[in-house]
Chain A
Amino acid sequence: MSSHPPSSAKFEQLNMLRTAIMQKQTGVLSFTSASGKRGMIQIATGNIIGDKGSIDDIAILLSEPVESCIWRESSIENTEDWQEATHAISQAVSDTHWNTSALLALKLLFSKLPPVRIRMIPIHRYGYKDGISYLMLHHQSLRTEKFTLLDFLNETSESKELERRIKVLVLGYCLGLITAIPQQQAATKNKNSKVGIASRILRRIRGM
């Protein structure tokens, strides 16, 4: 068991990675994990620089809480060898495992997020091995208007299944596929806009 109880475990690296990828930033993410492992990940316009070694570093970054994690914007000299973030994160998450304490900490963190929307992309094409769990998350999110990750996580207490679910959440969160439900002002202001119409049909089909 980790020495970090869930309430104090720090996973700020997830927020930093997500921001760098979503905002297509360029810079270096340096970290020291709770167990003392050090590493750095170079990111250029939201893509991951490097090859297999970078994926291993991301897997280490994701696998436990961090002691410290710093994002420094800077130019990257050699950007020839790079991978799409979707590809790199998918592969890294596939190979990541957490101990019970880290799993519970992540469960707690994700459970606190407000209602979310899940973007569907063919994640299996990027090397993610458990497309079924992602599909399940996506389908579940469609069924209700205010879907929370707590709903998704509370469905299981079995640790292997919990890990599968946490994996797709880490993946979706870091890649920006899990987002807050937008303030659908357009929909409420103009119910005949495309968004307004789609929202009305969505509600109707959910009620079938």
Chain B
Amino acid sequence: MTQKSIAKILITGPFNAGKTTLIRYVSDEQTSGKDVQATDALAQYKSMTTVGLDFGILHVDEELDVHLFGTPGQARFNFMWKILSKGALGTIFLIDSSSQRAIDEAKKMYQFYRELSDMPIIIGATKRDLPDAKDLDALALELDTGDTPIIPCDTRKPDDSRLLVLSLLEEIITRATPPNEDEFELSLD
């Protein structure tokens, strides 16, 4: 029996951004970290929050599984971020764009991941439908994201969640393969 290869994708970002939901829509199996009642200052934003980590498995084929790790969003678990990111293909960084508190958290967290390695990162801006949602320019400026794409998404929609993962995969492939310019130009004949 052939042993399956495992690829790893990290889903990270501050609390209440939609990480658990995203993993649900791109996994065949999901084990959620324990949802507990938020007791600290977060309680005013979210009644239940994930402690530990979210974990999903996507069966790609007979030889490959993808493990999706959702990091806990609270800063006090930051010791886990480095451990979980080891060996990951790339990272999806989710931000609740309607919460200034989450954006403030995201600044530190994003810089942490940027300094950790040069692995591909895609940023998903969630909760765009809420009245306080920051526009993408403002978000990019606050987070100092440079050329990292910020993609608006609603992780409650399976298609949005999958598109975010597809964007990350495409970024991974693009970085690793030079463009093929042979015979690629507008034909003027």
**A positions within 8 Å CB-CB of B:** 10-12, 14-15, 18, 22, 109-110, 112-114, 117, 119-122, 124-125, 131, 135, 138-139, 142-143, 173, 176, 179-184, 186, 192-195, 197-202, 204-206, 208
Contacts and interface: CB of A to CB of B under 8 A. Distances in A.
Nearest to A173: B186
Contact of B26 (A14, A139, A208): A208
B171 A120 contact: yes
Interface in B57-104: 58-61, 64, 66, 89
A180 B140 CA distance: 29
A179 B184 contact: yes
A202 B169 contact: yes
A200 B64 contact: yes
A197 B9 CA distance: 12
Contacts of A173: 186
Interface string B168-189: 0111111011111111111110
B148 interface: yes
Given A181-B180, A201-B165, 19 more contacts: A11-B188, A12-B186, A15-B188, A109-B187, A110-B186, A114-B184, A117-B174, A120-B151, A121-B147, A124-B137, A135-B151, A142-B166, A173-B186, A186-B176, A195-B173, A201-B60, A204-B59, A204-B61, A208-B162
Contacts of B174: 117, 119
Contacts, number: 125
A197 B87 CA distance: 13
Contacts of A201: 7, 58, 60, 64, 66, 165, 169
A89 B28 CA distance: 43
B150 interface: yes
A194 B176 contact: yes
29 contacts: A10-B188, A11-B188, A109-B186, A112-B187, A114-B183, A114-B184, A120-B151, A122-B140, A122-B148, A135-B152, A138-B167, A142-B170, A143-B163, A180-B182, A180-B184, A181-B180, A182-B178, A184-B173, A186-B176, A186-B177, A194-B89, A195-B177, A197-B5, A197-B7, A198-B169, A201-B7, A202-B173, A204-B61, A208-B26
B51 interface: no
A86 B62 CA distance: 43
Chain B: number of interface residues, binned into ranges: 35 or more
B148 A204 contact: no
Contacts of A208: 26, 158, 162
Contacts of A181: 180
Contacts of B165: 201, 205
A183 B158 CA distance: 30
A192 B5 contact: yes
Contacts of A205: 26, 58, 162, 165-166, 169
Contacts of B178: 182
B145 interface: yes
B150 A122 contact: yes
Contacts of A204: 58-61
